Amino acid sequence: MADISKDILEKIKKEKMRPYPKQYFLLKRSVVWAVFGLSIFLGSIACAITLFQLRYAQWDLYKHLTHSLTEFVLLVIPFFWLTFLLGFTWLAYYYFRRTERGYQYTAIWIVLSSIALSIIGGGLLYSTGLSEKLEFVFQENLPFYKKLQESKQKVWMSPEHGLLAGKIIKIISDQKVELKDLKGSIWIIDIADTIWRGRLRPVKDLKIKILGKMQAQNQFKADEIRPWKRRRGSGKKHYFRCIEKK
Amino acid sequence: MNDYKNMPDEQLVQLSLNNQDYFYYLMKRYEIKLLRYIKRLTTVSQEEAKDIIQEIFIKVYRNLNGFNPKLKFSSWIYRIAHNEIINQYRKTKLCSSIIPLNIEDEANLIDAINDSIEIDGAYENLETAERVRKALSELPDKYREILVLRYLEDKSYEEISDILRKPPGTVATQINRAKASFKKIAWRHQLDKELIK
């Protein structure tokens, strides 16, 4: 009977085969760990922006939408970033399983640990203010992202529930302004007893959000006026300090 | 030569890295075991099995520097064999309907799967043996392999976990499922009347 091992050894010698160098395996392992680490880091960024968006989601508005809290919650949840978080968690799982001993852990353990690490990382990034900066950068540079975020503002087109948004097109008097809402309808807004948030003042072309009461068709009494959106770098203290002209 | 016989695998690995001739002793140590393992999982001929084992040993040699000494060498080489069998299976669909386990293998397997199965005597009946073989071949590949590793290759749960790269808990669950699945198939083949007390 032929000696298989001997034949293989001869083949190895004849073809001058050599074991792959140690560095090759070291590099391979390093790449796996690096991609795992990167996945956790990117997951942390997604988490940080999620925290930021949830923190400033103006939860007080749900009182005005009691007929559909679910709709409000669905509008507030940052699905865009949660999808990223899930994607990076899957990537982290995939690469962790490819580490030397990664297979010893169950899928659920790896996934939950990755999410926990991303949340911790996200919390740290959020506390440094990076999430706010990134949110601004994305909104300024990615038109689709800006559009996506603005679509969330449709909650403000609910005058029968006391919410209205649009642009001031005319200052009628100290107590009345004319507003073009997001759908293009014209409203007369009573601003006599209004609280202006974020140091806003009635200015033509100013885009605003209004909390108040619909008095009649195309007539609205404003109790509180908020800026359309926050500005970058203003920080938590200056969250509402913005006058946006469009 | 006798010195090498008592030398641990890990030491032979280190020696093989400096001198190819030492790799011969490592191969010799696993040649028969792996050939048997291949034959237990596939339907290949002796010649085809030799080709597979050649691939396995060459891969082992090329990857010697990647061997983690925290792992048992036998688990590592079985893992490479497992991967190579899967590769070959994908290429040629090695596992066909009947797995050519020998009578002794089948007896060991059934004995291990269920202590209450009576195999003595039943195996004297060739027709029954053929039905047992068919029942085993009906097991999904993953169950068949895990039973072979546990009961024919005598591997511990931890070793199987290292070979198949699955968590030890999953290995335990799959072994139980494989046993339950075999019992069901045996019942369908009416083997229970002949084999189970």
Q: What is the CATH number of the domain that holds B47?
A: 1.10.1740.10
Q: Among B155, B129, B140, B121, which residue's Cα sits nearest to residue B37?
A: B155
Does B20 contact A24 at a Cβ distance shorter than 8 Å?
no
A31: containing domain: 22-151
B157 and B115 co-located in one domain: yes
pLDDT tens digits along B114-160: 554 444 444 445 566 666 667 777 888 888 889 889 988 889 999 99
Name the residue of chain A whose CA is nearest to B166's CA: A103
pLDDT tens digits along A133-184: 888 888 888 888 887 777 767 777 888 888 888 899 999 988 899 999 888 8
**ipTM at complex level:** 0.79
User: For chain A, which residues lie within 8 Å of any Cβ of chain B, measuring from their own Cβ?
Assistant: 4-9, 11-13, 17-22, 24-25, 28, 97, 100, 103-106
B158 and B111 co-located in one domain: yes
- Which pLDDT score, from 0 to 100, does residue B125 have? 54
- Which pLDDT score, from 0 to 100, does residue B167 have? 95
CATH number at residue A168: 2.40.50.140
Does A8 contact B170 at a Cβ distance shorter than 8 Å?
no
Closest Cβ opposite residue B61 in set A12, A28, A103? A12
Evaluate the CA torsion angle B96, B102, B105, B106 in order and state its sign: positive
Name the residue of chain B whose CA is nearest to A29's CA: B66
Residue A11 counted as domain residue: no
Distance from CA of A97 to the nearest CA of B (A): 9
Distance from CA of B31 to the nearest CA of A (A): 7
Residue A240 counted as domain residue: no
A133 and A176 co-located in one domain: no
Check whether A242 has a pLDDT greater than 70. Answer: no
Any residues with CB less than 8 A from the CB of A244 and at least 6 apart, and which? A206, A207, A227, A228, A229, A231
Q: Over chain B, what is the mean pLDDT?
A: 81
Distance CA A148, CA A242 (A): 21
Helix axes A130-141, A22-55, angle to 10 degrees: 90
Chain B residues within an 8 Å CB radius of A28:
66
Distances (CA, A) of B68 to A82, A237, B55, B79: 37, 54, 20, 13
Does B66 contact A8 at a Cβ distance shorter than 8 Å?
no
Residue A237 counted as domain residue: no
B60: containing domain: 2-92
pLDDT tens digits along B6-62: 889 999 999 999 999 999 999 999 999 999 999 888 888 888 899 999 999 999 999
Most confidently modeled range among A107-111, A156-160, B189-193? A107-111
B84 and B126 co-located in one domain: no
A145 and A162 co-located in one domain: no
A147 and A164 co-located in one domain: no
Distance CA A216, CA A21 (A): 81
Q: Among A10, A17, A238, A13, which residue's Cα sits nearest to residue A129?
A: A238
A46 and A127 co-located in one domain: yes
- Which pLDDT score, from 0 to 100, does residue A112 have? 97
Distance from CA of B171 to the nearest CA of A (A): 10
Counting beta carbons within 10 angstroms of the beta carbon of residue B104, is it exposed (0 to 12), middle (13 to 18) or buried (19 or more)? exposed
A131 and A30 co-located in one domain: yes
What is the tally of structural domains in chain A?
2
